[in-house]
Amino acid sequence: MSTTYCPRCAKKFKTQAALLQHMNQPISSCLTHYQERINIAASLQTALPAEPTHSPPDNHMEIDDPVAPLTQVHTSSELSSNSIRPSFRNLRTKPTNQNIPSERLPFIIKTHPTSGRVFGRGATFMDLFNSDRFSDARKHGCLYYPFASRKEWELASFLLNSNLSMASVDRFLKLELVKDMGLSFKTAKDLRNRAEVLPQGPLWKSEAWNTAFPTKFKLYLYYRDPIDCLQAIMHSPLVKDCIQFHPLQLFRSAEGVMRVYTEWLTGDKAWEMQDVLPDGASILGTVLSSDKTTISSMTGNRVAHPLLISLANLKMDFRMKSSNHAFLLLALIPVPQFIHRKKRFRGLLEDRMFHECLDFILRPLKTAAKIGIMMSDPLGWQHNFRHEPRTASTTLAQLEAIEDTVHPWDLDAYFKAASEHRLNGVHRPFWADWPLSDPSVFLTPEPLHHWHKAFWDHDAKWCINAVGSAEIDFRFSILHPHTGLRHFSEGISSLKQVTGREHREMQRHIVGIIADAVPPNFLIAVRALMDFRYLGQSREIDDRLCLKMEAALSEFHLHKNAIIAAGARRGKGSNSQINNWHIPKLEFLQSVVPNIRANGVAIQWSADGTERAHIEVIKNPSDFSNNQNYESQICRHLDRSEKCRQFNLSTALSDDAILLDERMVSAIPTAGNNLDDDASDDDATPNNDSQASPRATGCTASHFADYFAQALTLSTSIASNGGIPDKRLSPLRTFCPSQSEAVAFHLNRDPSFKRMTIDETSVLFSIPDLHQALADYFQRLSRANSDGHIGVFGGRRSCTSKDVHLPFTHLQVWKKLRLQNKAHHSPHQPLPSCTVNACPPSGEWSLGRYDPIIINLDPSQKWPYSGLKGHQVAELHLIFRIVPPRNRAFTFEDQFLIYAYRFDVVPQINKKFTGSSSARGPYPEADSSLYVLKRARRIDEMLIGDILPLRQVRALVELIPCFGQEADRRLTKYSSSHYNSEFRLNRFFDKELYFALSQ
C-alpha cells in the first residue's frame, strides 16, 4: 500500500485524499505554513524578473520562504535509501533584485555533499516504551499501568508534580471524598513507589571524589552518561521537526556573495568539521553549560554546581524554550572547601577539580568523537555520529612546556610560571584530548552576561556619572509608560539586584535619555555599542550585518576617549577616575563577529535558557529536600519528574483519542473573549488561541495569543458560510489588513463606550475638529483606491464648518487595542502582542493616555522592510466605529477607524545619507541616529489630526522628549508627552523596530 507524508509535520497517511483533508483543516498549522509559503512565493514572483532557463548545481537549493525550516523534508522513498539528500527537481535559481529588501530575498541553500547517511532503523521513543518490563500489562490490561485508568494517572501526575509534602498528600488521600474515588494507591509512599516503576530514562550514578589536597567535607560526584542524555533528547518525538543533521551554507543571492548565518549548522566550523569526517557520517554538536547557583532560602550558604547538556543540532527557538526541556541535568559538580592557607590556591584547586570532573564525565563523548557511535534520530533512523582527531592547540603546547620545567602540584611555582603565559594554573584542561575542540571556537559569545550585564556594569555607569544620578533618574521617571513594559518611576541609579530583564529595559531608552546632556562624541560612543548589541541579537545575520557590527565597534573605539574626557569612567565604590580601557568583556567583543561566522548567531548561546533551567532542575527540586545531602535528593526528584513527563507523553501517543500533533480547536471568539478595559497592564491572554495539546506535549499553553491564526480561523469560517458573517461577530474584532501585511489587530467584543454622539466624543477626547474630520474622511474615501486605503494624512480641511451634515450621529469607542506584529527576519513567526492605549482624561491621566504609532500611507511600501518610507508617525487619540443609523440606508463599509495627530520629521544634517556637511533632509540625527520629530500644526497653531482606517496602523513606537541640557522639573510621566513639542523616535524601543528603522 502506498504511503504519503505531510510535507509540514511528516504525519503518515494511507491516501492522497486523507493527506489533502489533513492539510485543509482550518486550524491546522500545516495549512497556515503552506499558505504563507504560497503568499511569500507569489509576492516574490511578481517582484522578481523572469526566471533564467539554466538549472543550478545539484548541491544548491532555493527556497522562496526566507525563513523556511532548516530541516529538509523527505519522501518515504528517500528515507528508504542509504543516504538522505534533499531533492532538487524543478528548482531554479532566481537572481537578486535591487528593488526587494535584502531581508526578503530568497535563500540559496548549499548542503554538505557527504553528510546525513542513514544506517538502517533503530529504536524509537515508542519502541522503548513498548519494550518496558511492564509493556505486556499495558498492552493487554490498562495502558496506564501501574495506575488503574487515565483519570487516576492524571490525579497521580498532579500530586507527584505538586508542591505538596508527603504528609500533605497522605492527608489528601484520607479525605472521604477521595476514598470514594476508589484509587489504587492509598498513601503517598505507595504513590512514589508506583512512580519508580515507570519507564526509566538516563540513569544516575555517584562517585566518591578524592582530591590531592584535603577538603572540609567528603565530596561526591553525581552524574549521568552524556550519550544516554543526548539520545534521550533525540528520541523525543517533540523534536522531529526541530532537529537537523546537515551542515548548510545559506546565501542571499544566486552568486553566493552574501552569506547568511542562523543556526549552528550554518556556520563555518560545522562545515569544516564535516569535511574531515568519513562519507555519510553525521555531526552532532553538544551544548554544555555550567554555573554555580545558590539554593538556600532565606539563610544558609548551600550552593549547587550543575552541568547541563543539550544538542546544538536543535533549532534555537526549540532549545531555548524552557517548556521543551531541551536542557538536561548531566551532573552535579562537587563544591569543595579546600583546606589551604592561601585563598588564591584554594580557588586554583577548585578550578582544577572542575576540569577533572568534566574530563571524567565527558569521556563517553570523547570516545564517540574519536571512533563514532550509532544513534537514532526521532524517526528511528540510525546515524553514525563522530569526529576526527586534530593537533594540539597553542595553549596545550604552552602547558607542556611549563610542565617540563615545573611540577604541576608545586602550586606556587607552577602558578607563577603559568601567569607569565596569562594562564590560570589548570594543568589538565578537560578539552585537551577532545577531537576538534578549540576554546577560541567553542567558548561562544554569551549575550546575557557579555552584553547585557556589561551594559549595566559599564555603559549605564558612564551615563550616570556623565549626566548625574539625579538628572538621569528624573528623565527615566517621566518617560511615557507603555503597557507591559517596565517603567523606572524612581530612576536607575539606586537599583539593586538588577536582572537581565531590567538590563534590557534600560537599554531601550538610554540613548534618547542622555541625548543633549552629554558631549556629542560621548553619545556616539554609547550609541555605537548599542548598535553592536542590537545587531548581534538578530536571529539571522548576513555578511552585511557583520560589516555593520564591525563598523559599530570601530566607531565606539574612535570616540571612546570622550567618555574618559568627561570623567565618566570611574572605579567601583569610589570617585577615582580610570584612564584606561582594561575591560575584558569589552575586549571580548572583538571575537563576536568571527564567532558568528564560525558558530551561527550569538543569540542562540545566551544563558537565558540555562538560567531558567537552573530553576527547574536545581532550585525547585531542592525545595523538596530536607537540607541534608540535597544533591542525591535533587537527582531522585529529577528522575521521578522525567519518568512522569515521558510516561505522560508515551500514553498520550498511544491513546487513540490523543495524537501528538493534536490541536485544541477553539470555537469562534464569543462574548467571553474581552480584554477588560479596567484591567492591569498585564492583560489576560484570551483563551481561544491554537496550541499544541498540553496533555500530549507536557507543555503549558502558549503564553501569548496568536491573533493571525484567530483572524485566519474567523475569515475561513465566514468563507465556508458563503461569505456571510455571524451577526454577533460583525464586524470582526480580530482581523488582519491582508495576508501581505505583518500586523494583526484585536479589540474587545464590547466597546468601552457603546453609544456616544459625535459631539460627546469630541469633548471627552479633546478633539475639537472631529466633526470636520469625519466629513473630510468620507470625501477622501470616495477618491481613494478600491480597497479604501487613504494616502493623505492631515491635509487642508475641505469642510471647515461643524454644521456639515453626516448620515450618522453616534459612535462606538474603544480605549485600547491589541496589536501584533511578525518577526522582521521570520515573517511566519508572530511576536507577543502589545497594548495600544487611546484613553480619555481620567484619574492620574488628567490629560489622557495616548500612545504613538506608525501608520501606512503608501500601500506599495511594506512595513517593516520599507522603514519610514511611505509611513508616518502619529499619536493615537481615538479608536471608534460608526454606528449605522436605524431605518436609514447607509452603505459605508463596516470597519474600525482611528483619529490621530501627526508628527513631522525635523530636517537634519547627516553625512551618512547625503555625503555633505551642509545639506539637510528628513534624516536621523547624526549623533544619536534617531529621528527628531515635532508636532505638526496648522497656521492657527492647532494640532494637525485626521481619520484613517485602523488597518493602516503598523506598529507601536516610543517617543522620548528632547529634554535639552536639563529636563523641566514640572514634567511628570503623565504629562511629558503632552507638553513637549519635539521628540526623538526611539528605534531602540525593541529589536524589531530597530531593524525596521535602520533601513
Residue 620 banded pLDDT, cuts 50, 70, 90 = confident
Mean pLDDT is lowest, of 59-73, 334-348, 432-446, 642-656, for 59-73
**Helix extents (H) in 300-342:** 316-320
**DSSP 8-state code for residue 489:** T
Name the residue with higher pLDDT: 688 or 759: 759
Give which of 71, 638, 12 is closest to 328, Cα–Cα. Answer: 638
At 395 the pLDDT is 78
Helix (H) / strand (E) element for 993: namely helix 991-997
pLDDT in tens, 783-798: 766 677 888 888 787 7
Distant-in-sequence, close-in-space partners of 206: CB < 8 Å, separation ≥ 6:
220, 221, 222, 223, 632
Q: What is the pLDDT of residues 480-501, one digit of tens each?
A: 999 999 999 999 999 888 888 8
CB 476 within 8 A of CB 513: yes
d(CA 109, CA 358): 37
d(CA 559, CA 564): 10
Integer Cα distance of 484 and 814 in angstroms: 19
d(CA 771, CA 760): 11
pLDDT tens, 931-949?
Answer: 999 999 988 889 999 999 9
For residue 763 the three cell numbers come to 469633548
pLDDT attached to residue 939: 86
Q: In b/e form, how buried is each residue of 30-62, taking b as 16+ CB within 10 angstroms? A: bbbbbebbebbeebbeeebeeeeeeebeeebbb
CA distance 593 to 493: 32
Question: Average pLDDT over the chain, rounded to whole?
Answer: 81
Q: In a 10 Å sphere around its CB, with 0-12 CB exposed, 13-18 middle and 19+ buried, how is residue 181 labelled?
A: exposed
Say if residue 731 is preceded by a cis peptide, omega within 30 of 0.
yes
- Nearest-angstrom CA–CA distance, 98 and 96: 7
Determine the Cα–Cα distance for residues 641 and 703; give it in Å rounded to an integer.
Answer: 23
What digits encode the pLDDT tens for the residues 111-170? 888 877 777 777 888 888 888 888 888 888 888 999 998 899 999 999 998 888 889 999
Q: How many CB atoms lie within 10 A of CB 494?
A: 9
Q: What pLDDT is recorded for position 32?
A: 52
Output the pLDDT for position 660: 41
Question: Scanning the structure block, which residue is given the C-alpha cell 582527531?
Answer: 389
Please check whether residue 12 is in contact with residue 22, taking contact to mean a CB–CB distance below 8 angstroms.
no
Confidence band of 868 (pLDDT split at 50, 70, 90): very high
With CA atoms as reference, report the closest residue to 221 among 307, 296, 288, 141.
307
Amino acid present at 634: I
Half-sphere exposure of 731 (CA within 13 A, CB side): 19
Instruction: pLDDT band for 656, please (50, 70, 90 cuts).
Output: low
C-alpha to C-alpha distances, 201 to 126, 159, 206, 228, nearest whole angstrom? 13, 21, 16, 8
- Rounded to whole angstroms, how far apart are CA atoms 492 and 406? 50
**Res. 301 pLDDT band, cuts 50 70 90:** confident
Residue appearing with cell numbers 570623567: 567
pLDDT tens digits, one per residue of 353-390:
999 999 999 999 988 888 888 887 776 666 666 544 34
Residues near 203 by beta carbon (within 8 Å), at least 6 away in sequence = 224, 225, 228
Task: Return d(Cα 399, Cα 531) in angstroms, integer.
Answer: 39
Burial of 26 (0-12, 13-18, 19+ CB in 10 A): middle
What length is written for the chain? Answer: 999
- % of the chain residues with pLDDT over 90: 43
Contacts of 424 (CB under 8 A, 6+ apart): 348, 351, 418
* DSSP assignment string, 861-881: SPTTTTTTTTEEEEEEEEEEE
Place of cell 557520517: 281
Beta strands in 262-326 (DSSP E): 286-290, 293-294, 303-311
Residue 895: pLDDT band with limits 50, 70, 90: confident
pLDDT at 763 over 70: yes
Count CB atoms within 10 A of the CB of residue 925. Answer: 19
Of the candidates 405, 648, 660, 459, the residue with the CA atom closest to the CA atom of residue 569: 459
**Which has the higher per-residue pLDDT, 295 or 915?**
295
- Looking at the DSSP bridge assignments, the partners of residue 908 are 921
- DSSP string covering 908-939: EE-HHHHS-SS-EES---TTT--EEEEE-B-T
Residue 451 carries which DSSP code? Answer: I
Of 632, 640, 699, the residue nearest 188 (C-alpha): 640
- Mean pLDDT to the nearest integer, 331-351: 89
More confident call, 920 vs 601:
601
Write out the E strands in 313-387. 328-333, 373-376, 382-385
How many Å apart are CA 403 and CA 488, to the nearest integer? Answer: 54
First and final C-alpha spacing in the chain: 54
Taking the CA of residue 469 as centre, how many other CA atoms within 13 Å lie in the half-sphere pointing to its CB?
6
Cα gap 506→20, rounded to integer Å: 50
**Residue from 402, 314, 307 nearest 355 by CA:** 307
The amino acid sitting at 596 is I
Q: How far is CA 196 from CA 188, 643, 648, 652, 975, in A?
A: 13, 8, 14, 19, 62
Contact 382, 372 (CB under 8 A): no
| Phi, psi (deg, nearest 5) at residue 549 | -65, -45
Q: CB–CB of 897/947 below 8 Å? A: yes
pLDDT digits (tens, 9 = 90+) for 524-561: 999 999 999 999 999 999 999 999 999 999 999 999 99
- 382 pairs with which residues across the strands? 376
H/E stretch holding 416 reads: helix 411-420
pTM score: 0.83
Q: Give the pLDDT confidence score for residue 299 in this predicted structure.
A: 63
Q: Residue 373: name the closest of 358, 383, 362, 361 by CA.
A: 383
- Which residues does residue 897 pair with via DSSP β-bridges, in sequence order? 880, 949
Spatial separation of the C-alpha atoms in residues 474 and 239, rounded to whole Å: 49
What are residue 108's DSSP bridge partners? 62, 251
What are the cell numbers at 45? 514572483
Q: How confident is the model at residue 892 (pLDDT cuts 50, 70, 90)?
A: low
Whether 770 contacts 758, CB under 8 Å? yes
C-beta of residue 894 within 8 angstroms of C-beta of residue 818: no
Q: Which whole number is the average pLDDT over 977-993?
A: 93
What is the per-residue DSSP string for 185-254?
Answer: --SHHHHHHHHHTSPP-SPEEEEEE--SS-BSS-EEEEEE-HHHHHHHHHH-GGGTTSB--S-EEEESST
Strand 959-961 to strand 382-385: parallel, antiparallel, or no bridges (unpaired)?
unpaired
57: pLDDT strictly greater than 80 = no
Do β-strands 293-294 and 303-311 pair in parallel, antiparallel, or remain unpaired?
antiparallel
> Which residues share a beta bridge with 982?
934
Three-class SS state of 113: coil
* Set of cell numbers at residue 675: 480584554
What single string gives the DSSP state of each residue in 652-690? HHHSTT--TT-B-PPPPP-TT----TTS-SSPPPPS---
> Position of cell 521537526?
241
574-584: per-residue pLDDT in tens?
678 899 999 99
Residues 6+ apart with CB under 8 A from 782: none
